[in-house]
Amino acid sequence: MVFTIANQKGGVGKTTTAINLSYALAESGVRTVLVDLDPQANATSGLGLEKLEGGSLYGPLCGDGTALEKVQPVGSNGNLFMIPSEVDMAAIEIELIQRDNYLVQLRECLAPLRNSGDYDAIILDCPPALGMLSMNSLAAADYLLIALQCEYLAMEGLGQILKVVDKLREAEVNDDLALGGILMTMFDQRTNLSHQVVGEVRNHFDEKVFRSMIPRSIRLSEAPSFGQSIFEYDPSSSGANAYRYLAEEVIERFDLGK
């Protein structure tokens, strides 16, 4: 099952969610591969992997090798894997638009990974913009997971990305793409604004909004600079507990690892 974590707005906790949800799923026994599609490679460094030349999906997207060859193990539990990113992924944005069927290039590239049966969940971490890589990730995914910051400006971006999903369905690029869930991030229990935004999103999207909410947390912000998930950096923190609960919800909602 392929999930893309996307939001054209930066700074909403998208990559933090990709890293920590992947780690938490793996800890729960779900065989998970995280695919870093962002040329900035924040998810790659956030899990302590090196940005090595030739390590990204650039080669497979250009017909050189396969996605399966780029998978690397992460950590010691045996269930977490990653395809890292590097700066050459910036070039693929330009190259994809020049090809026929440019929106489905990533889907075709990931097909061996999906069909291998080696993984229960493939999680795509996208750049913070709706460019070619993000559009390809939406075309390749079964479900879209949206990380939504608890502020009103973020809600405008929510409407925009859902319109893109509708257009991809209408164009028959990915008829099966569904909104898998909305994750409220940077929730501040002390402010009325956070509660108001959560209430409004729940009112519009009901059960699509995950019960778990990710708190505004210095520890979550610090962990990537040490090349660690929050579970390695501060396993008893509120952020770690929130992502554990989210992983339980995701496993239950999508019957993962069963």
197-223 tens-digit pLDDT? 888 888 889 899 999 999 988 999 999
Residue 100 counted as domain residue: yes
Residue 14, C-beta contacts closer than 8 angstroms, at least 6 positions apart: 5, 6, 7, 125, 126, 128, 147
> What is the average pLDDT across 6-24?
83
Find how far residue 256's CA is from the centre of its chain: 16
Residue 174 counted as domain residue: yes
Print the domain residue range for 81. 2-253
pLDDT per position as a tens digit, 119-130:
999 999 988 777
Whether residue 67 has pLDDT greater than 70: yes
Residue 240 counted as domain residue: yes
Residue 41 counted as domain residue: yes
Residue 258 counted as domain residue: no
- In 3D space, the residue among 47, 9, 256 whose CA is nearest the CA of residue 157 turns out to be 9
Residue 102 counted as domain residue: yes
pLDDT of residue 11: 60
CATH number where 232 lies: 3.40.50.300
- In 3D space, the residue among 90, 19, 96 whose CA is nearest the CA of residue 63 turns out to be 96
* Maximal C-alpha separation, the chain: 52
Residue 242 counted as domain residue: yes
Distance between CA atoms of residues 71 and 170, nearest Å: 33
State how far the alpha carbon of 73 is from the alpha carbons of 11, 42, 189, 225, 243, in Å: 27, 17, 37, 20, 21
Residue 96, C-beta contacts closer than 8 angstroms, at least 6 positions apart: 61, 102, 105, 132, 133, 136
Distance between CA atoms of residues 34 and 3, nearest Å: 10
Domain count, the chain: 1
pTM for this predicted structure: 0.92
pLDDT of residue 8: 63
Whether residue 76 has pLDDT greater than 60: yes
| Phi, psi values for residue 7, rounded to 5° | -170, 125
pLDDT per position as a tens digit, 155-181:
777 878 888 888 888 888 888 899 999
Distance between CA atoms of residues 30 and 53, nearest Å: 29
State how far the alpha carbon of 5 is from the alpha carbons of 38, 70, 130, in Å: 12, 20, 12
Residue 213 counted as domain residue: yes
Q: CB count, 10 Å around CB of 167?
A: 12
Stretch among 67-71, 99-103, 136-140 having the lowest mean pLDDT: 99-103
Whether residue 225 has pLDDT greater than 70: yes
Identify whether the C-beta of residue 174 lies closer than 8 Å to the C-beta of residue 138: yes
Q: Provide the token pair at 178.
A: 């569904």
